[in-house]
Amino acid sequence: MKIIKRNGSEVDFDITKIIVAVSKANDAVGEQERMTPMQIQRIAQSVVLSCERLGRSPSVEEVQDMVEHQIMAHGAFEVAKAYITYRYTRTLVRQSNTTDDKILSLIECNNEEAKQENSNKNPVVNSTQRDYMAGEVSRDITNRILLPQEIVDAHNEGIIHFHDSDYFAQHMNNCALVNLEDMLQNGTVITGTLIERPHSFSTACNIATQIIAQVASNQYGGQSISLAHLAPFVNVSREKIRRDVKNEFETLGISPDSEVANKLIERRIREEVRRGVQTIQYQVVTLLTTNGQAPFVTVFMYLGEAKNEQEKQDLAMIIEEVLLQRHQGVKNEKGVWVTPAFPKLIYVLEEDNIHEDSPYYYLTKLAAKCTAKRLVPDYISEKKMKELKEGNCFPVMGCRSALSPWKDENGNYKFYGRFNQGVVTLNLVDIALSSGGNLEKFWKIFDERLELCYKALMCRHERLKGTLSDAAPILWQYGACARLKKGEPIDKLLVGGYSTISLGYAGLCECVRYMTGKSHTDPSATPFALEIMKYMNAACDRWKAETSIAFGIYGTPLESTTYKFAKCLQRRFGIIEGVTDKGYITNSYHVHVTEEIDAFEKLKFEAQFQALSTGGAISYVEVPNMQHNLEAVLQIIRYIYDNIMYAELNTKSDYCQRCGWDGEIQILEQDGKLVWTCPQCGNQDQDTMNVARRTCGYIGTQFWNQGRTQEIKERVLHL
């Protein structure tokens, strides 16, 4: 068999070159991620068979594609990353580009953009650097080879944002609702080890954290789990403890009455719940996934998911313990209790906990206390969600991405085990400015940009098509998302509405201001803002009808992109007051952060846009320190229940390690740059501060780029 080299010459095929190349990539990763020599030999042999089936001489690139595919089919993702790097290093040497310089700047921590790209990643840490380095190579491949040039150009110009392009070269999905119930009740497999149904609550919590870590390493977006899936194991432990107590009393020759025995049993079960919850909190905070950060996980707390009254009481016990421990916080390196970023918490407001005479109102009071100090939990209104989601209440994926209601072949709604394929965000401000304020031209450009987004979203869909379940066994074979067979493609999960794909949008506020001269909160401008939302929904409905893919409108949580879009707009259109005069543009449909508006009015206003953001959205109100005014917090919570599906309260939770300041770390302008500064001692060393701010639906703790920092600085209070 022959192979065609890059210069067009044909030479004999040499299988040893494949073995050597894969072995080098294998040697470049940690011992736990390495493949065996036998696996490498099988990869090489599989590639030879594939080449023989072609019936012609393959090119070097084709062979390398086959090798990459086979490595990922073996589940060796770290080796695949190393192989991608090895494969294209030679190409990068031959071609003139800036990727080499970017990688070197990452290693030396000179890349400011990368340092502030993610507020929960520490770019100094080796694991983060490795992820960023692989990301730069992957992004280069994506831009030069995998994406159409018009999409790359639109992304670079800030017309659209093709999210997570550093992961696009691999066949990875975005985010998911983990089917923890299936994995715990029916068992799962983690790195080749069978994990059977746990026999205690504490063991279930341990397994849950391992599942979280595995899922986080096999996708690039957030994940959510429900505490209701852990609740049945409380009673499993209770019965085990009951037997142990009985045996202990018999050994001691004591015959206690049932009331004494039950008190002892409940005391012990509460202690086990405390330990189990602590395991989840500390494991999540201290774990580092393959992308160099703690797992982006959301914990869902919904009493309505309990299957019986005993389970509901046990679930309430777990929720109470989660809130108590989060209110306490975690200790920083100085031993001071501070606010952690993860896990993100969502508390569902329902009839059983929203009124003062509700049986679980004590949990809502505890949630309010926790929110006032630690920024979480966030709140979902069961009543409002059921109005908008065909009578269902379910968690979002990560910080806000929401599934569309979907029924299985038996007509039952299903949410856990489903996922999102990816996001492309549309810059609404750019559409407005490109139209010059001409309404007819605005809608024409809007259509063109929507078509561009559709092409980009279909690239995401096509990239996932053909992915074998072997690429991420924890997701596709062992229950997190599915129970497919080995070697089975995931294609059937990509259509029919089982998974979603998201059309994001940003800058509705500035878009409307430019086109109408007024804020979208102005009654005369609000209809135009709603028309834009409906226009995007109509496009998604049209695409869904044409493709059988569940497209949804997504209120994008811009982090670094808010700065990128702002810079691109300024470069293309200059400084326009009220539109491009900031280092950021407004997230999704939100009221501008500088606009004076009452908390209740803001929630009521944004609720109408949230209802149209079918693929996910979240609203917030900015509040001062409310730890001594919990009744006001509860008043807002009750208002959320009656008026909006998903909302949160933003406050501050900071600490200066230099002087012990336990208050708000301020943002000062110094030599044209915004600098975080302790108001008590003047400390400006970010390594000796603990700052927690809601970035865009989740808490950030590693600081932000200048655009997002300006946005945080300019937020006005709504209460």
Handedness of CA 562, 564, 570, 575 (dihedral sign): positive
Catalytic residue among 175, 301, 385, 656: 175
Catalytic residue among 226, 401, 404, 502: 401
Contact 708, 560 (CB under 8 A): yes
Any residues with CB less than 8 A from the CB of 103 and at least 6 apart, and which? Answer: 133, 136, 137
Note if the bond before 343 is cis, omega within 30 degrees: yes
Q: Taking the mean position of all CA atoms in its chain, how far away is CA 26?
A: 29
Paired tokens of 637 = 């919570």
Contact 77, 218 (CB under 8 A): yes
- Distance from C-alpha of 20 to C-alpha of 631, rounded to nearest angstrom: 67
Catalytic residue among 179, 237, 420, 537: 420
How many Cβ atoms from other residues are within 10 Å of residue 24's Cβ? 13
Catalytic residue among 554, 589, 646, 698: 554
Q: Taking the mean position of all CA atoms in its chain, how far away is CA 339?
A: 19
Paired tokens of 199 = 């026999």
Residue 245, CB-side half-sphere exposure with 13 Å CA sphere: 21
- Distance from C-alpha of 106 to C-alpha of 93, rounded to nearest angstrom: 18
Catalytic residue among 697, 698, 707, 711: 697
Q: Answer yes or no: 697 catalytic.
A: yes
Distances (CA, A) of 322 to 216, 236, 325, 486, 598: 21, 20, 5, 37, 31
- What percent helix, strand, coil does the chain show, rounded to 5? 50, 15, 35
Paired tokens of 268 = 């012990």
- Distance from C-alpha of 341 to C-alpha of 299, rounded to nearest angstrom: 12
Distances (CA, A) of 76 to 109, 486, 524, 561: 28, 15, 57, 31
Catalytic residue among 35, 66, 399, 536: 399
Catalytic residue among 133, 317, 397, 645: 397
Catalytic residue among 78, 272, 320, 559: 559
Nearest Cα neighbor of 176 from 413, 458, 474 is 474
DSSP state of 472: S
If you count them, how many residues does the chain have? 719
Q: Answer yes or no: 237 catalytic.
A: no
Nearest Cα neighbor of 588 from 643, 510, 652 is 510
Contact 496, 545 (CB under 8 A): no
Q: Which amino acid is at 132?
A: Y
Paired tokens of 5 = 């080299």
Distances (CA, A) of 550 to 403, 490, 556, 593: 9, 16, 17, 32
Biggest alpha carbon–alpha carbon distance for the chain: 90
For 421-465, give the secondary structure using H, E and C. EEEEEEEHHHHHHHHCCCHHHHHHHHHHHHHHHHHHHHHHHHHHC
Q: Answer yes or no: 420 catalytic.
A: yes
Catalytic residue among 119, 138, 143, 174: 174
Q: Answer yes or no: 397 catalytic.
A: yes
Q: Answer yes or no: 678 catalytic.
A: no
Contact 620, 655 (CB under 8 A): no
Q: Answer yes or no: 205 catalytic.
A: no
Residue 311, CB-side half-sphere exposure with 13 Å CA sphere: 14
Nearest Cα neighbor of 341 from 371, 279, 297 is 297
| Residues belonging to the active site | 174-175, 397, 399, 401, 420, 554, 559, 697
